[in-house]
């Protein structure tokens, strides 16, 4: 310990007085000294007035303690500093400090309300590095001790020591301290396990003082007691009470004494542990943990690293015990060089081999964690140099001085997910402070701040310098032409004098007012260099003034001391004599002769002794002192620097006049965020530190200050709270935290990750989804939640999407838009859907689009169906049809026809209000019995009495909701009489049993009946859709064509809700809505229609009959007559699709049929061939590609109806294809591939490996073609 510190701390020792001092208490009488009894009443009033003034003055000082470090209780022991802008507007904001250390071990602090670096009051203090937290700052001294600086505050730090006096009753003496051998000690703790005599309590360090003497606590259980503080019990293990009873054989009372921490605002040494073995000399410390995610506002933790690579944890740190109590070693698998603890539960350590360790399991219950996980360095070929962590960020500097950011870091995922290189300036170390703000020491030894760091963009936008002033001059000092250095400097001299690191700087001349002959020479108070005093030494010798100055090109590079975290070996020759110092830099004999040496004396403490081992942070300072110590012996040819005494002010060390050369920074206690208005963080403000440099460095600084407007590698984060449908059983909704993290590369490429953080059995876990792997984002209806499903290729195969739900519809839409935009950015998709896009709709009416590629229909290496990316298009439709000319038509649930009016590339989006109305149905089921007739009491094997149409799901009128929260009811429940098959007058349909077909009249064999209840709901939205009035439609079809086709008018056929056949005239890419409808006559209503290549029009009547329209051409768009096509035997077709040369149809039993024998000369074909079952809808494209919506996926019976499937192996030789590729599923209603004309070069398709994925093997039944009929 330094002498001045010893003297100052010894003065704080308790002065014993003859008068007993009792602590303040309302139930205790103070003992007044005898000297005060002679006071008169007026003197007593005057004394009270003085005390009142003292209290008022102390309150004022406590109010201004946040502005400047003042200690009202220790004014006699502490020096009060002047206030900088005491009552400015900025003083209303909380004032915090930024800490930094230069290469000479000097500690500086910078207030958020000030503009100047303030050096520590202790001029002898030399620290290697510091780590700051809220209200405190720790440091490692050159003596390997740990120092603590507690910020002054209104609330004093007091600790209560207590011990219990125990007595036992005996018949002779009553209650005495003579106890039984099995009893506790006469003086013990509350449990009686440890002896605690009054004289055994000692102050933990010189930073504490007793507030008073021991006194008895007169209260029992918080209530005043008249028993003198005694508590009675039958025996010691029993419960104590203030009431004395006949069987009370033991008693106890508590003695209390308070001690106060008096070292606030100064650097005080932490005492070594005694009797426990202290840790080896520490090389690094880090403070954190005061914002644990489990509970905020806790006390901080302190971690340390010894020079042998061990990790230590400081125990016992408490708001009332700021120093802590002891050190605990934490086992590590490898030797650690440096570590960093965040405010939360993050701890990262840097290994000597360049990799990193992450501490797992940090929590309030386990502050030291449970295990270590090793993480590789960001660059495999370059080792890591420094690591810094915050609440949810990790920054790393590698040995090439590049800065890296760890993405995906969270308390649930301390290891993160990957590294991102941060472009910009080279840095030597970084530190993460409050609000995850980032500070750094640059390669030029300047201090920098990361601009734009927010919770949504934790990587920030660019570096700016910390442009605060230093020294005692408030103005920017401009450089002068005459340099105070005569001749050439050695490397050691430059390292100890120059303040610049990457350029040769000029030194300022002395102030004429301060360079007079009577300027006192400061006494050496630190191991620093002081010129020889005297009148003759104030002015440089004439030879020095005429000495030539070498050019900057020939000058050697300045020597800058290095920090021990920036090198891999320790300095072993620290104690060598100064004789070896000239070997640092070689100089010519001519330069030596031209450079007269100055007479320089070392400090008295260092003269004649070897320089002790010091940390490498002070390597430059030690080298400078060694060189200066050899000043008298430099006349034999060594080079030296000539100083003007006026340049060294009182208590100003070497190199300080030009500003510190920084080596360490800590912002853990500096409360700054991206919106803070701090004068020394303005990108346009330059401090005196840079104004005195040469033009080249000035331009370099100005370029750095403009960095925030330039975009480099960055990370953007959106966080929120959602609900997650848990993957495992029992499945239920779980509250989770989500974070969408997006990184932007220098070339503009973006990639994003969605993290979901949850807790299982008090263990923090997470799951993540790479946005580039997301295949669809689909809104869903789950238990009235605003939910959406996130699909990936793997989750599509497993048929288990990630389902998340928001509290409101707006939150759900915001997340959907955000995720969709990130998915499109990752895949390079922008703008409206292309002409080749695949269109689809879900059962809720959402419109989904997939951008087709050549690989989608390639004969070889076909894109897997589960890898397709679907994005949502604004609007709401029941079905959508398109073609390759960019025409898209849709039909709402209420039959309204819409045409896509989306923008073409380069045009603005035109949105229109879109409304849709649909009906929601539930079925009431009943069974007949001989006693009561038809009732709602069914058999145990029957379907629910209220169900959906299939009878597999129970649906009542009470628990049935609209398809999504966007829908709203517009009517009440009513019986629906418009049901296929007819109903009776009450709406009932009858059947022999539930699985069979229902009819509208009752027979003797009908034992079950049902009727349908309907209720209408309405949705209003906006989208790029234009309404086509006035006829409501039930089906529509656009003629498919190849990509290179050009058509003046595109044939469009449709069916009205009444079954009428319509042909739209005037449809073209310039007029997608067309001009008018042309009615095509039929003798019965139709339910499905499709037009294929060469104007082939096929249709299905409502009774299942198939028709082909003949003689359709551009000149005769309506054709001439209908040709009847026989249906498959015992099957009723319900939907068909015609491609370029093929026709596929789906029957009522979900079977897929292919029409054989189609030829230009015989377009009706010859027979139907069964392809597969389990099909709901089919779509055939212009390349004869076949896509379907399947009822379900084999092996997943719980999958929701509606899965997109692709027919593989379709080609000229195999128009029927070979197998199915199942893609995204769960609620798909319709698909259209008729716009995908992106034809890839065809090649023979190899036979599929393994069994076919079709649920049913194909059967080749054939049927003859029908005859033409006149309509």
pLDDT digits (tens, 9 = 90+) for 845-895: 889 999 888 778 877 778 888 889 999 999 989 999 999 888 999 999 999
Cα distances (angstroms) measured from residue 746 to each of 705, 773, 990: 19, 22, 70
Which position has the higher pLDDT, 371 or 574? 371
pLDDT at residue 503, rounded to an integer: 35
| Range in 85-94, 242-251, 585-594, 1065-1074 with the lowest mean pLDDT | 585-594
**Cα gap 458→1022, rounded to integer Å:** 35
CB 498 within 8 A of CB 658: yes
pLDDT at residue 808, rounded to an integer: 87
Q: Is 653 strand, coil or helix?
A: coil
Q: How confident is the model at residue 576 (pLDDT cuts 50, 70, 90)?
A: very low
pLDDT at residue 53, rounded to an integer: 57
pLDDT at residue 588, rounded to an integer: 37
In terms of Cα–Cα distance, which of 611, 628, 593, 592 is closest to 493? 628
Q: Is the per-residue pLDDT at 618 higher than 50?
A: no
Pairing of strands 1106-1110, 1097-1101: antiparallel
Q: How confident is the model at residue 49 (pLDDT cuts 50, 70, 90)?
A: low
pLDDT at residue 542, rounded to an integer: 41
Average pLDDT, the chain: 76
Cα distances (angstroms) measured from residue 932 to each of 829, 927, 994: 65, 10, 19
CB 121 within 8 A of CB 136: no
Which position has the higher pLDDT, 1112 or 681? 1112
**Cα gap 630→633, rounded to integer Å:** 5
The mean pLDDT value for 1024-1052 works out to: 88
763-770, strands of its sheet edge to edge: 763-770, 750-760, 733-744, 714-725, 802-806, 785-792, 774-782
Q: Can you give the pTM of this predicted structure?
A: 0.65
In terms of Cα–Cα distance, which of 328, 329, 692 is closest to 504? 692
> ω before 545 within 30° of 0 (cis)?
no
The mean pLDDT value for 1208-1236 works out to: 89
418-422, strands of its sheet edge to edge: 384-389, 394-398, 403-407, 418-422
pLDDT at residue 331, rounded to an integer: 94
Question: What does the DSSP assignment read for 282-296?
Answer: EEEEEEE-TT-SSSS
CB 739 within 8 A of CB 715: no
Question: What does the DSSP assignment read for 154-219?
Answer: SS--EEEEEEEEEEEEETTTEEES---TTS--SEE-TTSSSB--GGG---SSTTEEE-S--EE--E
**Cα gap 919→971, rounded to integer Å:** 10
The mean pLDDT value for 239-243 works out to: 88
pLDDT at residue 470, rounded to an integer: 75
Tens digits of per-residue pLDDT, 749-771? 788 889 999 998 888 888 989 99
pLDDT at residue 378, rounded to an integer: 92
Tens digits of per-residue pLDDT, 394-408? 999 999 999 999 988
pLDDT at residue 858, rounded to an integer: 78
Q: Is 1211 strand, coil or helix?
A: coil
The mean pLDDT value for 830-835 works out to: 88
Question: What does the DSSP assignment read for 349-400?
Answer: EEETTS-EEEEE---SS-TT-SEEEEE--SBTTB-EEEEEE-SS-EEEEETT
Q: How confident is the model at residue 712 (pLDDT cuts 50, 70, 90)?
A: low
The mean pLDDT value for 967-981 works out to: 90
Q: Is the per-residue pLDDT at 493 higher than 50?
A: no
pLDDT at residue 525, rounded to an integer: 36
CB 1158 within 8 A of CB 1165: yes
Question: What does the DSSP assignment read for 915-962?
Answer: EEEEEEEEEEEEEEETTTEEES---TTSPPSEE-SSSSSB--TTT---
Q: Is the per-residue pLDDT at 966 higher than 70?
A: yes
Q: Is the per-residue pLDDT at 421 higher than 80?
A: yes
The mean pLDDT value for 1055-1062 works out to: 94
Percent of the chain with pLDDT over 90: 36
Residue 362, CB half-sphere, CA atoms under 13 Å: how many?
32
| Range in 265-279, 283-297, 508-522, 707-721 with the lowest mean pLDDT | 508-522
Tens digits of per-residue pLDDT, 309-328? 999 999 888 878 888 888 89
Percent of the chain with pLDDT over 70: 71
User: Would you state the structure tokens that stand for residue 944, as one six-digit string?
Assistant: 């629910």
Q: Is the per-residue pLDDT at 433 higher than 50?
A: yes
pLDDT at residue 666, rounded to an integer: 94
**Cα gap 840→1233, rounded to integer Å:** 9
Q: How confident is the model at residue 42 (pLDDT cuts 50, 70, 90)?
A: low
**Cα gap 19→16, rounded to integer Å:** 9
| Range in 83-97, 344-358, 390-404, 733-747 with the lowest mean pLDDT | 83-97
| Range in 18-32, 235-249, 435-449, 1026-1040 with the lowest mean pLDDT | 18-32
User: Would you state the structure tokens that stand for residue 610, as one six-digit string?
Assistant: 């070897």
Q: Which residues contact 462 (CB under 8 A, 6 or more apart)?
A: 424, 450, 451, 452, 706, 707, 708, 709, 710, 712
pLDDT at residue 115, rounded to an integer: 85
Q: Which residues contact 91 (CB under 8 A, 6 or more apart)?
A: 66, 67, 85, 113
**Cα gap 1071→1049, rounded to integer Å:** 9
Which position has the higher pLDDT, 169 or 69? 169
**Cα gap 678→502, rounded to integer Å:** 27
The mean pLDDT value for 696-720 works out to: 56
SS3 of 435-476: the string is: HHCEEEEECCCCEEEEECCCCCCCCCCEEEECCCECCCCCCC
Q: Is the per-residue pLDDT at 122 higher than 70?
A: yes
The sign of the torsion formed by the CA atoms of 479, 482, 484, 488 equals positive
Burial of 1159 (0-12, 13-18, 19+ CB in 10 A): exposed
Q: How confident is the model at residue 46 (pLDDT cuts 50, 70, 90)?
A: low
Q: Is the per-residue pLDDT at 485 higher than 60?
A: no
Q: Is the per-residue pLDDT at 921 higher than 90?
A: yes
CB 653 within 8 A of CB 528: yes
b/e per residue, 119-154, with b = 16+ CB within 10 A? bbebbebbbbbbbbbbbbbbbbbbebbbbbbbbbee
Tens digits of per-residue pLDDT, 181-232? 999 999 999 999 999 999 999 998 888 999 999 999 988 777 787 788 899 9
Q: How confident is the model at residue 656 (pLDDT cuts 50, 70, 90)?
A: low
| Range in 157-166, 513-522, 906-915, 981-990 with the lowest mean pLDDT | 513-522
**Cα gap 689→288, rounded to integer Å:** 31
């Amino acid at each position: 310990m330094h002498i001045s510190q010893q003297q100052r701390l010894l003065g704080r020792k308790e002065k014993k007085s003859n008068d007993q001092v009792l602590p303040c208490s309302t139930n205790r009488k103070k003992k007044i000294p005898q000297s005060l009894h002679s006071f008169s009443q007026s003197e007593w009033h005057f004394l009270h007035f003085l005390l009142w003034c003292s209290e008022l003055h102390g309150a004022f000082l406590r109010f201004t303690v946040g502005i400047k470090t003042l200690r009202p209780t220790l004014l006699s022991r502490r020096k009060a500093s002047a206030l900088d802008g005491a009552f400015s507007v900025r003083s209303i904001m909380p004032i915090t400090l930024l800490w930094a250390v230069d290469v000479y071990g000097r500690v500086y602090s910078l207030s958020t309300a000030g503009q100047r670096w303030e050096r520590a009051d202790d001029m002898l203090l030399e620290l290697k590095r510091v780590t700051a937290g809220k209200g405190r700052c720790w440091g490692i001294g050159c003596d390997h001790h740990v120092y603590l600086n507690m910020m002054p505050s209104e609330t004093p730090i007091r600790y209560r020591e207590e011990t219990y006096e125990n007595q036992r009753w005996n018949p002779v003496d009553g209650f005495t301290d003579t106890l039984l051998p099995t009893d506790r000690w006469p003086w013990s703790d509350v449990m009686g396990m440890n002896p605690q005599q009054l004289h055994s309590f000692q102050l933990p360090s010189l930073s504490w003082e007793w507030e008073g003497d021991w006194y008895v606590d007169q209260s029992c259980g918080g209530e005043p007691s008249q028993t003198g503080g005694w508590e009675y019990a039958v025996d010691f293990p029993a419960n104590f009470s203030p009431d004395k009873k006949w069987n009370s054989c033991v008693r106890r009372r508590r003695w209390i004494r308070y001690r106060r921490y008096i070292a606030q605002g100064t650097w005080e040494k932490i005492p070594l542990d005694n009797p426990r073995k202290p840790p080896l000399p520490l090389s690094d410390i880090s403070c954190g943990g005061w914002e644990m995610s489990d509970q905020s506002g806790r006390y901080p933790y302190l971690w340390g690293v010894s020079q042998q690579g061990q990790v230590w944890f400081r125990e016992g740190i408490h708001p009332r015990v700021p120093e802590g109590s002891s050190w605990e070693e934490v086992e590590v698998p490898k030797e650690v060089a440096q570590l960093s603890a965040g405010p939360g539960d993050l701890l990262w350590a840097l290994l000597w081999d360049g990799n990193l360790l992450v501490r797992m399991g940090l929590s309030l219950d386990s502050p030291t964690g449970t295990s270590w996980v090793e993480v590789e360095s960001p660059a495999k070929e370059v080792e890591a140099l420094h690591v810094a962590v915050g609440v949810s960020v990790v920054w790393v500097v590698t040995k090439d001085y590049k800065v890296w950011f760890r993405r995906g870091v969270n308390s649930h995922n301390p290891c993160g997910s990957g590294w991102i290189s941060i472009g910009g300036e080279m840095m030597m170390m970084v530190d993460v402070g409050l609000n995850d703000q980032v500070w750094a020491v640059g390669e030029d030894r300047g201090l920098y701040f990361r601009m734009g760091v927010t919770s949504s963009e934790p990587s920030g936008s660019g570096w700016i310098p910390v442009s605060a002033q230093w020294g005692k001059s408030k103005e920017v000092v401009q450089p002068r032409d005459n340099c105070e250095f005569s001749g050439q400097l050695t490397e050691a001299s430059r390292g100890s004098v120059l303040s610049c690191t990457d350029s040769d700087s000029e030194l300022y001349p002395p102030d004429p007012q301060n360079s007079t002959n009577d300027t006192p020479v400061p006494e050496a108070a630190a191991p620093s260099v002081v010129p020889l005093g005297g009148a003759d030494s104030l002015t440089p010798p004439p030879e020095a003034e005429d000495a030539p100055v070498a050019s900057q090109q020939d000058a050697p590079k300045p020597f800058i001391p290095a920090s021990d975290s920036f090198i891999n070996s320790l300095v072993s020759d620290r104690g060598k004599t100064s004789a070896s110092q000239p070997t640092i830099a070689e100089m010519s004999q001519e330069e030596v002769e031209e450079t007269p040496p100055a007479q320089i004396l070392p400090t008295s403490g260092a003269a004649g002794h070897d320089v002790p081992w010091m940390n490498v942070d002070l390597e430059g300072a030690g080298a400078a002192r060694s060189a200066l110590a050899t000043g008298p012996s430099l006349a034999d040819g060594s080079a030296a620097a000539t100083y003007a005494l006026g340049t060294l002010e009182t208590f100003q060390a070497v190199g300080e006049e030009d500003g510190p050369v920084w080596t360490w920074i800590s912002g853990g206690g500096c409360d700054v965020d991206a919106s803070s208005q701090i004068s020394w963080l303005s990108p346009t403000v330059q401090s005196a530190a840079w104004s005195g440099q040469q033009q080249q460095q000035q331009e370099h600084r100005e370029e750095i200050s403009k960095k925030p407007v330039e975009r480099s590698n960055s990370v953007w984060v959106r966080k929120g709270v959602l609900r997650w449908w848990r993957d495992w059983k029992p499945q239920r909704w779980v509250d989770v935290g989500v974070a969408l993290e997006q990184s932007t590369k220098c070339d503009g490429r973006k990639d994003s990750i969605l993290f979901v953080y949850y807790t299982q059995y008090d263990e923090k876990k997470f799951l993540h989804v790479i946005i580039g792997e997301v295949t669809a984002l689909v809104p869903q209806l789950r238990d009235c939640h605003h939910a959406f499903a996130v699909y990936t290729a793997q989750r599509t195969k497993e048929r288990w999407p990630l389902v998340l739900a928001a509290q409101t519809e707006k939150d759900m839409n915001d997340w959907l838009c955000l995720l969709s935009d990130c998915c499109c950015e990752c895949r390079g998709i922008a703008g409206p859907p292309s002409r080749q896009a695949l269109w689809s709709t879900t059962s809720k009416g959402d419109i989904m689009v997939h951008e087709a590629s050549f690989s989608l229909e390639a004969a070889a290496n076909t894109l897997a169906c589960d890898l397709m990316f679907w994005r949502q298009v604004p609007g709401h439709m029941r079905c959508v049809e398109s073609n390759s000319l960019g025409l898209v038509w849709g039909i709402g649930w209420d039959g309204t026809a819409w045409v896509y009016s989306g923008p073409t590339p380069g045009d603005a989006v035109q949105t229109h209000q879109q409304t849709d109305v649909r009906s929601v149905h539930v079925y009431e089921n009943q069974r007949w019995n001989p006693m009561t007739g038809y009732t709602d009491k069914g058999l145990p094997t029957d379907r629910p009495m209220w169900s959906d149409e299939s009878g597999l799901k129970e649906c009542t009128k009470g628990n049935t909701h609209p398809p999504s929260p966007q829908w709203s009811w517009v009517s009440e429940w009513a019986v629906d009489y418009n049901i296929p098959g007819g109903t009776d007058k009450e709406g009932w349909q009858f059947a022999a049993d539930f699985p069979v077909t229902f009819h509208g009249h009752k027979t003797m064999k009908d034992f079950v009946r049902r009727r349908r209840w309907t209720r209408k709901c309405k949705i209003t939205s906006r989208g790029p859709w234009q309404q086509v009035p006035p006829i409501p439609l039930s089906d529509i079809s656009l003629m498919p064509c190849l990509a290179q086709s050009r058509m003046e008018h595109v044939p469009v056929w449709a069916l009205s809700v009444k079954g009428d056949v319509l042909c739209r005239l005037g449809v073209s890419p310039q007029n997608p809505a067309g001009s008018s409808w042309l009615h095509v006559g039929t003798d019965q209503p139709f339910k499905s229609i499709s037009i294929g290549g060469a104007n082939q029009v096929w249709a299905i009547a409502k009774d299942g009959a198939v028709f082909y329209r003949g003689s359709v051409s551009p000149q005769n768009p309506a054709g001439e007559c209908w040709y009847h096509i026989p249906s498959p035997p015992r099957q009723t077709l319900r939907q068909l699709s015609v491609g370029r040369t093929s026709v596929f149809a789906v029957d009522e039993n979900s079977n897929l049929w292919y029409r054989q024998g189609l030829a230009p000369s015989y377009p009706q074909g010859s027979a139907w061939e069964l392809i597969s079952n389990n099909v709901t809808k089919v779509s055939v494209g212009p390349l004869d590609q076949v896509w379907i919506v399947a009822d379900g996926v084999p092996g997943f019976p719980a999958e929701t109806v509606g899965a997109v499937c692709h027919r593989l192996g379709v080609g000229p030789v195999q128009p029927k294809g070979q197998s199915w590729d199942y893609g995204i599923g769960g609620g798909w209603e319709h698909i259209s591939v008729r716009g995908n004309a992106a034809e890839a070069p065809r090649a023979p398709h190899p036979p599929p490996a393994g069994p076919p994925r079709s649920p049913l093997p194909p059967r080749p039944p054939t049927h003859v073609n029908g005859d033409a009929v006149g309509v």
